[in-house]
Amino acid sequence: MDTFASRTFWVMRHGRPDLPRNPFFMDHDQFNRYLEAYDRAALSDVETQRLTALFQQYPVPDLVICSDLPRAQATAELFARSSPIIVDPTFREIPVWLPDASTKFLKSRWPEEFWWSYLRLNWFRDQGPEGKTRSRQRAQEAITRLLAYQEGHQRIALVSHAGFLSLLITMLHQQHRIKGPFLPSIRFGRPTRYTWVKS
């Protein structure tokens, strides 16, 4: 019987994007160019083969929803196999970008993780292209869409991005809508299973 509580969904971060290795230290412009390239990148042939083999261990979903960025769409096609796919930009990653190099810090060269830490801090301060408040609003929009997509389907899958998925799943738990791990796996292409809770 197709009861609401028996409906499940898999969530996963996209596969590893096909990008060259970064230098250890990057300046402001190099890091922003890297962010641009990351959003344009799809999957390499090696990553496609890896995910194809990995996804054979999982049941074929009834429907797959994915972000409109190339790395998410390519991953969704592999997980879907013959199932329909809905491409929805609501499930995009939280956008980030380094502001103009107006301080000594921003004019310096730093390891990649220093730049990511700076962007995370800006997000918590509600700064950047999309701060914490807007991200939470978009995650709530995504929850509404996800619930609508789930209607009439026993098993769905969502392919999105590490930051946005973590926020989305946290909010679903806070609203007591799902059962499953508190946070999904952020490994590239690794599905995490959740079960809906009838509210």
For residue 102 the two structure tokens come to 């107006």
For residue 145 the two structure tokens come to 């869409």
pLDDT above 80 for 26: yes
Question: Which amino acid appears at position 111 of this protein?
Answer: P
DSSP string, the chain: ---GGG-EEEEEEPPPB--PPPPSEE-HHHHHHHHHHHHH--B-HHHHHHHHHHHTTSPPPSEEEE-SSHHHHHHHHHHHTTS-EEE-GGGPPPP-------SHHHHS-EEHHHHHHHHHHHHHTT-SSS-HHHHHHHHHHHHHHHHHHHTT-SEEEEEE-HHHHHHHHHHHHHTT-EES-SS---STT--EEEEE---
pLDDT for 198: 77
Domains belonging to the chain, first-starting first, are 4-196 (3.40.50.1240)
For residue 132 the two structure tokens come to 């914490």
Summarised one tens digit per residue, pLDDT across range 124-152 is: 999 989 999 999 999 999 999 999 999 88
Summarised one tens digit per residue, pLDDT across range 164-195 is: 999 999 999 999 999 999 999 999 999 999 99
Q: Which residue shows structure tokens 């978009």?
A: 138
For residue 78 the two structure tokens come to 């592999």
**pTM of structure:** 0.93
pLDDT for 6: 74
